[in-house]
Amino acid sequence: MIDEKKVKGYALCMIQDPTEPNLIFVGTEQGLWISFDNGISFQQWKNDYPSVSTYDLAIQEREADLVIATFGRAIWIMDDIRPLRKLAAEKGMLTKN
């Protein structure tokens, strides 16, 4: 069951990774949120990303980059989401290899 109380703000956009369906990105007026377990739980993505209105998301397939459009016409690029795909394949659980 999804806990809506953990995501701040209303959703402006959402994209599910076509390569790893467990990986979902959601843009809200409070920033970028990420799920590694197909939307069951979300956490806010900080990592130098501001808590700004996030209006659109696109995955650039060839380079595996997430392109993010924010309020104020800013564009952010999350370079190479393949490590996030690997984490999502394990539903957010880190495992030892």
Query: What tokens appear for 11 in the block?
Result: 């959703």
Whether 95 is covered by a domain: the verdict is: no
DSSP string, 22-65: T-EEEEETTEEEEESSTTS--EE--TT--S--EEEEEEETTTTE
Asked if pLDDT for residue 1 goes beyond 50, the answer is no
Would you say residue 96 lies in a domain? no
Q: List, for residues 43-96, the tens digit of each pLDDT value.
A: 999 888 888 899 999 999 999 999 999 987 789 999 999 999 999 998 776 655
DSSP H or E stretch at residue 70: strand 65-70
- φ, ψ of residue 34 in degrees (nearest 5): -135, 145
pLDDT computed for residue 71 by the predictor: 87
The answer to whether position 29 is within a domain reads: yes
Confirm whether 94 is domain-assigned: no
* 97 domain-assigned: no
Q: Tokens for 84, please give them.
A: 């996030």
> Do 15 and 81 meet the contact criterion of CB atoms below 8 Å apart?
no
Domain that holds residue 27: 4-89
pTM of the predicted model, to two decimals?
0.87
Distance (Å, whole) CA 40 – CA 82: 21
Query: How many independent structural domains does the chain possess?
Result: 1
What is the per-residue pLDDT for 95?
Answer: 57
Q: What's the confidence (pLDDT) of residue 94?
A: 60
